[in-house]
Each structure stands twice: as C-alpha cells, then as structure tokens.
C-alpha cells in the first residue's frame, strides 16, 4: 500500500507537532552524515582501512563538542511520550520534585 504525501498529511492527526518531526528527522540525518563524513577510508595492499579524522586533524575534537545533536535527538524522541501521558490522564513525574505519591498535585 503506497500513500501519497498528501494522503499521509490528511491521515496525520491535527494534534501532531510537525516541528518535532522536523527536528527528529534533522537530528537523525545529522548523526548519520556526521559519522559518515568523519571516517577516513582508504585501500592499501588489498585491505580496507578505516580511521577517524579526529585523530588526524588537530582541533577537530572541538567540533565534536560544539556540534552535538544527540541531546536534541533524545529530547524530540521523548517529547511524544509526554503527550501520551497527558492523553491517558497519567500524572507527569518530575525528577527531584517534592511531591509524594499520595498528594493530589502530582
């Protein structure tokens, strides 16, 4: 069964946050492209060797700290779970909150 993009858009619930979907797709693509582009692959004496560019280019390690997208990936991955809990009337659990399990505000 193949659906057109228009049919998929009509079938998507109006409550779905398309911006979160965009962030999720961007973060996945960024991780794949980042890992693909940092590999140094070369052929020598009939063997394939793979090395990491960070070990060969000074200062490149700084980019690995500045260009982190994995936190974004996990944030947008967990975002729909928050909405699912709200739809099921499940109270949100906040780590470090002062609420106990018996209070009505939690």
pLDDT in tens, 16-43: 888 888 888 898 898 888 888 888 888 9
Find, among 30, 95, 39, 38, the residue nearest to 68 by Cα: 30
Find, among 76, 72, 70, 78, the residue nearest to 95 by Cα: 78
Half-sphere exposure of 39 (CA within 13 A, CB side): 10
The predicted structure's pLDDT at residue 43: 92
User: Diameter of the chain by CA atoms?
Assistant: 70
The predicted structure's pLDDT at residue 11: 84
Give the Cα separation of 15 and 92 in Å (integer): 19
Choice among 6-10, 17-21, 75-79, 102-106 with the minimum mean pLDDT: 102-106
Give the Cα separation of 74 and 20 in Å (integer): 11
Q: Is the pLDDT of residue 47 over 70?
A: yes
Domain ranges of the chain: 18-87
Q: Is the pLDDT of residue 71 over 70?
A: yes
The predicted structure's pLDDT at residue 89: 61
Residue 80 pLDDT grade (very low, low, confident, very high; cuts 50, 70, 90): confident
């Amino acid at each position: 069964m193949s659906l057109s993009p228009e049919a998929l858009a009509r079938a998507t619930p109006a409550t779905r946050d398309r911006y979160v979907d965009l962030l999720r797709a961007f973060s996945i693509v960024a991780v794949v492209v980042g890992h693909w582009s940092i590999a140094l692959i070369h052929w020598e004496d009939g063997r394939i060797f793979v090395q990491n560019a960070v070990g060969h280019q000074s200062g490149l390690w700084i980019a690995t700290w500045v260009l982190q997208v994995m936190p974004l990936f996990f944030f947008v991955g967990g975002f729909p779970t928050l909405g699912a809990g709200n739809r099921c009337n499940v109270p949100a659990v906040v780590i470090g909150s002062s609420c106990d399990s018996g209070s009505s505000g939690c």
